Amino acid sequence: MLSGKEGHATKKSMEILVALGEIYGAKKLVRVSSVQVSGVSYKNLGDAGIEFLNELAEDGRARVKSTLNPAGMDLVNWQSQGIGKDFASKQLEVIAAYTRLGLEPSCTCTPYLAGNEPGFAEHIAWSESSAVVYANSVLGARTNREGGPSALAASLTGRTPLYGYHLAANRRPSLAVDVEAKLTAPEDFSAMGYFVGKIANNGIPYFRGVEGAGLEELKTLSAALASSGGVAMFHMERVTPEAKGVPSGTDAVSFTRRDLGETAAALNDSGDPDFISVGCPHCSLDELATIARLLKGRSVTREFWVCCSRAVKALSDERGYSRRIEASGAKFACDTCMVVAPIETMGYKVVATNSAKAVHYLRNNGLQVRFWPIARCVSEATEAR
Amino acid sequence: MKQVGRAIYAGRADGKALVTAQPISFYGGVDPTTGKVIEKGHELQGESVKGRVLVFPHGKGSTVGSYILYRLSKEGLAPSAIINEESETIVAVGAIISEIPCVDRIDLSRIKPAVMLRVDGRTVRS
C-alpha cells in the first residue's frame, strides 16, 4: 500500500499511519473493523478540505464500515434552519466527496445508535471525542483519539497503528473518583464529566458509587469528559465491562454535592436565551420520547432545535414522537447540531442547552450559554414572550 | 549549526526561522485566509507563517488543525518547513497531507530567531 501500487489515496493514507506509528512507538499496524470520521462541517474544512477529499476520492475507497460525524446543517431541511445557499452547496459538496469515498453519510456523533456499533475488544479508529470515550468505556472496543484525517486514513486502508488504547496495558485506571453527590439526571452526569475531565486530563478515571447510569447518562458523561480534558476512556464500577478495580496506590478524588453545584453554576452564563437546543450528543429514542411528552399541548416561542441522527429520527417517526415534537413548532436538526452549524453567524446571542460539552464549544464560538436540565429547556422554550 | 532529528515528512526547503517556545494551535490560532497567527496572547500573534521555517515545540488544540495547514498550503500561505521538539498527530498529519517538510526531535534552544535555515530530510542547518 505504501509503494503506491494500490493508488494515490491508499499511499497517502499509509504515509499518515506509518508516521503516526513511528511517533507513538507502534510496532505494527492492526486491522480495524469500524471507523468514525470527523471533519465534516464545511465551517471547519473550508474549500481546501473539499479539494483534499476530492483528490482522495479519485482512487480511494473505504475498506471497512465507516460513518461520518455531524455536518454543518440538516442535509434535507437546511432551508428551514436558516442556512445560506452558498454554505449549503459547499456542505453538500463535502458530503458528496465522502460518499464517493464509500463512507456512509450518517452524520452523527452517536454512530453506536445508528448502526455502527463495534463489539468488545475490537480494534477501531474513531475520531469524534465523545464517541471515542463511549466506545472505549461502554462498548469495550479499542480506539485512540483519532483526528479526522487519521481516521479517514484508517478507513481507506482498513488499518491503524497499534499503540495507546489498543493495548490492554494502557487501559488501566489512573484516577479513582468516589462519587458522593447524588446524581438524579443526565445533566448531573454531564457536569460531573466536565469536573472530572479537568482533573483527569489525559488519564483514565474510575468512578465508584454511581447509581442510575443508563445509556443517556453514559453518553453525556463521555462527551463532557472529552471536552474539558483529553479523556479517551473511563471505567465505572458495576457498569462498564473493563471495570475490575483500582490498583493500590492510585490517586483518588471525591465528587461531592458541592462540586456538582459549583460545576453546574460555572457552566451557566446569564441572559435570556434566543436559541434553545438539546441533543449534544445526538438524542437517543428515549430522549425524544421525553421531549415529546414535555412538549405535549405546548407551542415553542423561540428557536428550539432537537438534534439527533437521521436513523434515530426514523424510529421516532414510527413511534409518533416526531409528529408531537414538530406540532409544537420545535425543529428537528438531523445530521448536525448547535455546535457545528454556524448559528453564531445567524444572529443568535444566548443559547440554552443541557450539555456541558455544548456549553464548552458554544462559548468558544463567542456565545453566551445557559446550562439547564432538559425539562427546563423545554419549559423556557414554551414560555410566553 | 547542524542538527539531525527525525523526518516526519522528508523534503528540502529554505527559509527564515520563525521561532516560538509556545505550542501552536492551527485551528483557531492561525488565520487560513492570511497566514497570520491570531491566537490572543501568543508570542507570534500578528506574524505571518508564510514561507518561514516555523519552529515550535508541538501542536495543540483541535485535530481540524491539520486541514488548516492544508488550506494554508493551497493558498500559498504555508510555512516552507516545520521544525518541532516533538511532532504530534495534528502537525504530523497536516505536514504529510500538505507535503510540507517537517523534522522533529530537534533542540529548539539552539535555533536563533530570524536566522536562515535549511531543512533537508532529517537534517537542519543554519
Q: Is residue A147 part of a domain?
A: yes
Residues of B in contact with A165 (CB under 8 A): none
Q: Is residue A222 part of a domain?
A: yes
Measured between alpha carbons, how far is A29 from A1 in angstroms, rounded to an integer? 12
- Which residue type sits at A74? D
Instruction: Name the one residue in this structure whose C-alpha cell is 498527530.
Output: B89
Residues of A in contact with B67 (CB under 8 A): 39, 44-46, 48-49, 52, 148-149
Confidence (pLDDT) at A103: 98
> Stretch B20-44: mean pLDDT, rounded?
91
Same-domain status, A227 and A289: no
HSE (side-chain half, CA atoms, 13 Å) at B99? 4
pLDDT for B39 beyond 90 = no
Same-domain status, A239 and A303: no
Burial class (CB in 10 A: 0-12, 13-18, 19+), A168: exposed
Residues of A in contact with B28 (CB under 8 A): 364
Please indicate if any CB of chain A lies within 8 Å of the CB of B66. yes
Measured between alpha carbons, how far is B24 from A202 in angstroms, rounded to an integer? 19
Q: Report the side by side order of strands in the sheet with B12-19.
A: B2-4, B123-125, B116-120, B12-19, B53-56, B81-84, B102-104, B6-9
Measured between alpha carbons, how far is B31 from B37 in angstroms, rounded to an integer? 6
The catalytic position among B62, B66, B80, B109 is B62
Same-domain status, A19 and A136: yes
The stretches of chain A forming alpha helices (DSSP H) are 8-23, 42-57, 85-100, 129-134, 148-157, 186-200, 215-228, 257-266, 285-295, 310-319, 321-327, 356-364, 374-381
Same-domain status, A323 and A291: yes
Same-domain status, A179 and A42: no
Domain of residue A304, residue span = 275-381
Confidence (pLDDT) at B40: 81
Mutation target for B interface from A50, A55, A150, A357: give the one with most B CBs within 10 A.
A150
Q: Is residue A1 part of a domain?
A: no
| Catalytic site includes residue B73 | no
Q: Is residue A102 part of a domain?
A: yes
**CB–CB of B110/B12 below 8 Å?**
no
Name the closest residue on chain A to residue B105, using Cα atoms.
A23
Same-domain status, A31 and A154: yes
CA angle B99, A21, A11 (to 5 degrees): 45
Same-domain status, A251 and A330: no
The continuous run of DSSP H or E covering B74 comes out as: helix B65-74
Mutation target for B interface from A18, A23, A144: give the one with most B CBs within 10 A.
A23
Confidence (pLDDT) at A384: 86
Same-domain status, A121 and A136: yes
Which DSSP symbol is given to B7?
E
Confidence (pLDDT) at B8: 94
Give the residue from A266, A288, A308 where a domain finishes. A266
Confidence (pLDDT) at A171: 98
Secondary structure (DSSP) of A145-191: ---HHHHHHHHHHTEEE--GGGSGGG-S-SEEEEE-SPP-SHHHHHH
User: Which of B9, B66, B75 has the CB atom closest to A149's CB atom?
Assistant: B66
Q: Is residue A113 part of a domain?
A: yes
Confidence (pLDDT) at B88: 87
Q: Could you tell me the mean pLDDT of each successive run of 10 residues in chain A, 385 residues long?
A: 93 94 94 96 88 95 98 95 95 98 98 98 96 98 94 98 97 98 97 96 94 97 92 97 96 98 97 96 98 97 97 98 97 95 92 96 91 96 89
Give the residue from A124, A144, A168 where a domain finishes. A168
Please indicate if any CB of chain B lies within 8 Å of the CB of A156. no
Q: N- to C-terminal Cα distance for chain B?
A: 5
Radius of gyration of chain A (CA): 21
Residues B69-93 have pLDDT tens digits of 999 999 999 999 999 999 988 899 9
In DSSP terms, B4 is beta-bridged to: B123
Give the residue from A266, A288, A316 where a domain finishes. A266
Confidence (pLDDT) at A27: 96
Q: Cβ–Cβ of B71/A150 closer than 8 Å?
A: no
Q: What domains appear along chain B, each with residue ranges and CATH number?
A: 2-125 (3.50.30.10)
**Of residues A27 and B60, more confidently modeled:** A27
Nearest to A223 by CA among A279, A184, A307, A280: A280
Q: Is residue A2 part of a domain?
A: no
Please indicate if any CB of chain A lies within 8 Å of the CB of B93. yes
Q: Cβ–Cβ of A364/B28 closer than 8 Å?
A: yes
Q: What total of structural domains would you count in chain A?
A: 3
Residues of A in contact with B63 (CB under 8 A): 38-39, 127, 146-150
Name the closest residue on chain A to residue B104, using Cα atoms.
A23
Same-domain status, A161 and A183: no
Confidence (pLDDT) at A37: 97
Same-domain status, A152 and A16: yes
Q: Which three cell numbers stand for residue B88?
A: 504530534
Please indicate if any CB of chain B lies within 8 Å of the CB of A127. yes
Confidence (pLDDT) at B61: 76
Measured between alpha carbons, how far is A275 from A349 in angstroms, rounded to an integer? 8
Please indicate if any CB of chain A lies within 8 Å of the CB of B52. no
CATH number at residue A365: 3.30.499.10
pLDDT for B62 beyond 80 = no
Q: Which three cell numbers stand for residue A304?
A: 428550539
Residues of B in contact with A22 (CB under 8 A): 6
Measured between alpha carbons, how far is B21 from A210 in angstroms, rounded to an integer? 43
**CB–CB of A36/A66 below 8 Å?**
yes
How many residues are given for chain B?
A: 126
Same-domain status, A75 and A98: yes
Q: Cβ–Cβ of B67/A49 closer than 8 Å?
A: yes
Q: Is residue A89 part of a domain?
A: yes
Same-domain status, A304 and A223: no
Measured between alpha carbons, how far is A37 from B124 in angstroms, rounded to an integer? 35
Measured between alpha carbons, how far is A346 from A147 in angstroms, rounded to an integer? 28
